[in-house]
Structures are given as C-alpha cells and as structure tokens.
Amino acid sequence: MKFMALIYNDPTTMTPPGTPDFGKMMEGYRIANETYHRDGVYVSGDALQGASTATTIRVRNGKTESMDGPFAESKEQLAGFYILDCKDLDEAIRYASLIPGAASGAVELRPVMVFDR
C-alpha cells in the first residue's frame, strides 16, 4: 500500500543552511533515505522550493485563473514529500517518524488512492 508523507515546516523557524544544526538535520534525512532504500519502501520523494514560488491554479466556469503563491495562508507550509510503499498504516507511521521534519514541523500521511482500471 502506498502512502504519501507530506512534510510541513514553519519557514520562519527553519534551521539556516551552513549551521551545525542544519548538518544534523540533513544527516537525519540521509539516514531516513538509506533506511527507505534498504528496506525497499522508497518509491519517490523530494524537497520543494519555498511557498513563495508556488502558483495556484483554479478553473471556474471554464476559465483558468492562476495566482502567485500558495492557496492557503498558514504558519506551516509544504516543504517536501515521500511516497512510501508499506504493508499498512502502522509501518508507514514507523517510517514517517524517521523524517527529521516531524521533530520541528509535521508529517501528514495519506494513503494513495487506487483506482480500478
């Protein structure tokens, strides 16, 4: 069963690159990535550029509208994601807890929808 782990953080409290704490955080991501690959649950994942680079698209009455920035104003913003192939939610929770962003922000787990073909 595939799960998407959505990583949220507060950009105002992010650890700055080049600091010892940033290095520790990145080491945590390296360990998580190695674990996911070793255990065969890694499907994909990546970091995202800041919310200020987002473009929100809406189609209303057949007209496409675009707006710079994220859809919702919130303290925590989507910063990255993983897609993990786990046997169940308990296993997905165990792997998501390895994501360093869970210690300072939040990780939302959602099962990937499977459509019959």
What CATH number is associated with residue 62?
3.30.70.1060
Domain annotation covers residue 15: yes
Please tell me whether the overall predicted TM-score, pTM, comes out greater than 0.75 for this model: yes
Task: Using the predicted structure, report yes or no on whether residue 40 has a pLDDT greater than 90.
Answer: yes
Task: Please give the pLDDT value at position 80.
Answer: 95
Q: Provide the residue range defining the domain that includes 88.
A: 2-111
Task: Using the predicted structure, report yes or no on whether residue 72 has a pLDDT greater than 70.
Answer: no
Does 51 or 6 have the greater pLDDT score? 6
Measured distance CA(10)–CA(57) in Å, rounded:
23
What amino acid is encoded at 40 in this protein? Answer: G
104: enclosing H helix or E strand: helix 101-104
Domain annotation covers residue 116: no
Residues across the chain:
117
Measured distance CA(36)–CA(60) in Å, rounded:
41
Q: How many structural domains are present in the chain? A: 1
Domain annotation covers residue 117: no
**Contact between residue 60 and residue 71 where contact means Cβ atoms under 8 Å apart:** no
Domain annotation covers residue 33: yes
